[in-house]
Amino acid sequence: MASAEYQREWRLRNLEKVREGNRKWRQKRRAELGTEWLARSAAGRKRWRAANSERNRELGRAWYQRNKHKPHVVSSRRDTKYLNRYGIRYSEKERMFAAQSGKCAICEKLFACLRTAYVDHDHKTRAVRGLVCQFCNSMLGNAKDNPSILRAAIAYLQRTSCLS
């Protein structure tokens, strides 16, 4: 009989022993962790983080230092950032970059790389409109995404332009 199969059958036959061993292990871990054991349960996680914010940050930093080289950590952190901010995955940004031929949606300047492309989105609906360069992103932000402000700016430039 294979080892894994034997262990599975043993656990099924000795369920009470397994549960008792698990209970003892949890008690030991709680004693080692002190109040940090609360962070291991879903119900106490939020309460523990609020009471131990510095320790939580310290644990998070330590975990990240140990795991930052792993590809799934890099991609999941990036996906989390884009999902939280814009409601899209990083792969969607890559697809948009290719669809726009690596150019800004407004001024059509070529992006140096994908990292220099900013995701333009509606702040009220979170709808993603496209990828823009830093300058166009700043222009839209300063105009508060208001088309009438942008039209007024265009009219101003046309009125005061020395070349027209």
Task: Measure the CA–CA gap between 128 and 11, rounded to whole angstroms.
Answer: 52
Q: What is the reported pLDDT for 32?
A: 73
**164 residues of the chain, pLDDT tens digit each:** 578 888 888 888 998 999 999 889 878 877 776 666 655 676 677 888 889 999 999 998 998 898 888 877 777 888 888 888 898 999 999 999 999 999 999 999 999 999 999 999 988 888 999 999 999 999 999 999 899 999 999 999 999 887 65
Within the chain, residue ranges assigned H as helices are 3-13, 15-33, 42-51, 53-67, 71-86, 90-99, 134-142, 147-160
Q: What is the reported pLDDT for 49?
A: 84
User: CB under 8 Å to 136, separation ≥6 — which residues?
Assistant: 104, 105, 106, 107, 118, 120
Q: What is the reported pLDDT for 11?
A: 86
Q: What is the reported pLDDT for 34?
A: 67
